[in-house]
Each structure stands twice: as C-alpha cells, then as structure tokens.
Amino acid sequence: MLCRHCNQVRSNRPRGLCWSCYYTPGVRDLYPSTSKFARRGVSDFNGKAHTAAPTIALPGSPEKVAILEERARLQQELWHPADAPMDRESRKLGIR
C-alpha cells in the first residue's frame, strides 16, 4: 500500500503514511488514526469542572442518560446535588 499523502513510497507508519510524511509537521494531523485502539468518544477529563444545572429527569431514564452524555461532552460535573432523586425516601435520607 502506498502512502496516503505522497502516493510514492510504501506506507510503513501508522495512519497509512510513509516515514517522511508521518514525521513531517502537520501531515500526521491531516489523517485520522486507523487503529482499532484509537481514542474515540468523550475524552477523559480530570480538570476543574463547571457545575451543571439541576435536572428533574429520574435516574436511569433515557432523558437522564442523555443529560449525563451532554454534561460529559461539555466537561461539566456529572452529578448535581439538586438532581431528581430515585424516590421520596432517598430525598429524606440525603442519598444521591
């Protein structure tokens, strides 16, 4: 298989690039990884997160899952203390 960028040399580096194209600044960024182990989806975030707005969606519901996905994408805190509890007893005990 020839290099995806220069189409002149056999590809011998990841992303289907030859050695010189792979190490040329900026060229590697033009071609996404072809590895099945490449990082995809929401990145792992360990910084200081912003507090999200509380939600009335019940835990485990499709609406709550969609809200959690959106919060993760925006790098917000996943859980808010005022989010809807499972039931009234959980609210009385303060269990989240």
Nearest to 78 by CA among 87, 86, 88, 68: 68
Q: Are residues 62 and 80 in the same domain?
A: yes
Number of domains in the chain: 2
Residue 22: pLDDT over 60: yes
Residue 23 is predicted with a pLDDT of 92
d(CA 37, CA 41): 12
Q: What is the pLDDT of residues 63-96, one digit of tens each?
A: 999 999 998 888 888 888 888 887 766 656 555 5
Q: Are residues 30 and 70 in the same domain?
A: no
Structural domain that includes position 75: 41-96
Cβ-in-10-Å burial (0-12, 13-18, 19+) of 46 comes to: exposed
Q: Are residues 48 and 86 in the same domain?
A: yes
Q: Are residues 45 and 77 in the same domain?
A: yes
Residue 20 is predicted with a pLDDT of 93
Q: Are residues 47 and 4 in the same domain?
A: no
Residue 7: pLDDT over 80: yes
Q: Are residues 48 and 59 in the same domain?
A: yes
pTM of the model: 0.49
pLDDT band at 41 (very low <50, low <70, confident <90, very high): low
DSSP annotation string for 38-74: S--SSPP--SPPBPPPP--PPTTSHHHHHHHHHHHHT
